[in-house]
A and B are shown apart, each in its own frame.
Chain A
Amino acid sequence: MKKIRIRGRTEYPGRVEAEALVSPMPLQGFTNVDPEHGYTTERNHPLFRVPYTGKVLVFPSQRGSGGFLKYGRGNKPAAFLHTVASPLNVLCALQAHVPSMTDFERDPMEVIETGDMVLVNADEGYIEVTKKEG
């Protein structure tokens, strides 16, 4: 099984392995996230109502309201991996207390696809991607 290891900067520590859910578009909070159901409610979004609970949520960046931090509440993801860091990712990690990483040596958006298994080892500053079969 092919494994790809990428180093990055730890925002919030911890170690978890779970299936990836990749958002090709930036994620938006406030009214456009439903932490109870654990999915985005932004109309026309590729992940509209696709549950992220317990997944390694991979996305390029956040956009919009401070209500982005709601991704870190309720039925939250197992971990956050994002290409670009911003203050709202910091607030989200503060809410969630789950492993969160950014500033990777190689953009995880180019490597990870939905369904891949990802080991997030934020304690040691790397992720390890196991590509799904087929």
Chain B
Amino acid sequence: MTTVRLTDEEKRMLQGERGKVRRICMEYLVEMCQISGAERLIDLDGTGDMHSPGLEMSPYYKITVEDLRELVARGEHFKIPTFADKSPFPEQPPIHGWERCNICSYRQAGVRQDDPAFHRRAMHEEEFRLLRQMGMITSHSCANYLTMTYWPTMGQHCSWFESSQIPYCNAVLGARANFDGSFATCFLGKAPYYGLHITENRYGTVLVRTDRTIRTDLEWDVFGYAVGCAVKCAVPVLTGTAKPTTTQLQKLNSAIHTGGGVEMYHIPGSTPEAPTLEFAFGGKKPRQEVCIGEAELRAAYDYLNYHTTDRVDMVYLGCPHLNLVDLMLLARRFQGKRVKVPCWVMTAPWLYYAARDMGYVDILAQAGVTLMSGACLAAMGAVPQGVECIAVDTAKQANYVTGCYPDPDEKLQVCYGTTDECVDAALTGRWRGEWR
């Protein structure tokens, strides 16, 4: 087991001299060091992001609401700026649009998301009131970086927890985070010092080439998924792509950390730690080279499509949560039209207000589209009754949405393609998507 070197103050926390909650948090972090091989903790100077309320970090390390009340009474705060990703756990209800969310709660047939009493419970208001008093910013989005307004800067040490945001933090922002955001890391402002906190581990290890220039949203999404599958937990350096848009970065980050365990990547000339190809590899040769070309992209596209029927019962967009430009484009596509099958769209809670002010909420509502915020269909773990085939435009949702519907007859099918193809499916109830 790794010996963990602690500062005198960290030792005092561990011994309980700084209160029960700091002791529990420190015990949790020390054990994390022992497991990961980290020899010490690092003081975070960036930001925190966590699944919340998140009081139970593991069956062995948990704090109570009463502990939170005492912390608040003593005027205690999170040590670093801390954001709540996703909507409240474990129910993960939509923040907006829950009244129209006519599905049951995860594996509980009799409990529905559109029941006001359930929604009230699921929002965990007391915990969040206390967490807000401690400084938590309850942005409730899997694409938190869209509404944070305060991003860690290059080189800052962070602790985040949301699969698509880890590579965003590392690769896109150039800040440094392992997948470990929790109450302990955010409250103490400390994290085990290993992995991507260390410069040497941030350099590329696998060179990725492609014979098809990656340009469109779908290409970026499929490419991300296929790269993740191919490189697993390595640090890929992506070449042969066009410059990604914000939407495409959202898709890439969620797809690459769904197909694989990629927490860091480089796009030479585009991401901040890769001014050149050589720099991205830290001056070393790649350990491996892979080609994600036409054949591999096609294979990934076919894998993500999981349907025998072309009859679509429902369309789900907004994985990760849509940014404001995507909402504008979606409103434009649906303006003056009417959906034939339910179409649910998910965005970040604070962008819901912006979309309302811009008139997009009304346009979408007039087309019969349901705009929601904060949640995730796969995370909620159900589809409306009777839905047997769903259309989506992201690899992440396509990959996860079937896992939580353990119907005895395995009936949920998935059509995966472009946003336009999904919009067409919403308007016609038919899937006409194809790999082009």
Contact = CB atoms under 8 A, between A and B. Distances in A.
A64 B257 contact: yes
Interface string A57-96: 0001111111000000100000000001111101101110
Interface of B: 1, 28, 31-32, 35-37, 51, 57-61, 161-163, 178-180, 192, 195, 228-229, 232-233, 257-261, 263, 303, 306, 378-379, 381, 399-404, 406
Of A84, A85, A86, most B-chain CB atoms within 10 Å: A86
Contact of B232 (A26, A95, A100): A26
B35 A61 contact: no
A66 B195 CA distance: 16
Contacts of B161: 66
Given A61-B261, A63-B261, A64-B257, A86 B233 contact: yes
Given A26-B260, A31-B381, A94-B28, A63 B403 contact: no
11 contacts: A26-B232, A31-B381, A31-B403, A31-B404, A41-B404, A63-B258, A65-B400, A84-B233, A84-B261, A85-B36, A91-B179
Nearest to B195: A87
A97 to B, nearest CB: 6
A63 B228 contact: yes
A95 B258 contact: no
A66 B51 CA distance: 10
Nearest to B378: A31
B402 A66 contact: no
Contacts of B61: 94
Nearest to A30: B400
Interface of A: 9-13, 26, 28, 30-34, 41-44, 60-66, 73, 84-88, 90-91, 93-95, 97, 100
A9 B2 CA distance: 10
Given A10-B1, A61-B232, A90-B36, A66 B179 contact: yes
A86 B179 contact: yes
Contacts of B57: 94
A43 to B, nearest CB: 5
B266 to A, nearest CB: 18
A45 to B, nearest CB: 9
Going nearest first, the 4 A-B pairs with the smallest beta carbon separation are A31-B403, A31-B404, A32-B403, A87-B179
Given A31-B378, A100-B35, A44 B404 contact: no
Given A60-B232, A86-B233, A87-B36, A41 B403 contact: yes
A63 to B, nearest CB: 5
A11 B28 CA distance: 14
A93 B303 CA distance: 31
Given A41-B406, A42-B403, A94-B35, A87 B1 contact: no
Contact of A9 (B37, B163, B232): B37
Contact of A65 (B28, B32, B258): B258
Tell me which of B51, B379, B399 has the highest count of chain A C-beta atoms within 10 A of its own C-beta.
Answer: B399
Contacts of B399: 28, 32, 42, 64
Contacts of B32: 90-91, 94
Contact of B59 (A44, A63, A93, A95): A95
Contact of B35 (A44, A65, A93): A93
B162 A66 contact: yes
A94 B406 CA distance: 27
Contact of A11 (B35, B232, B261): B35
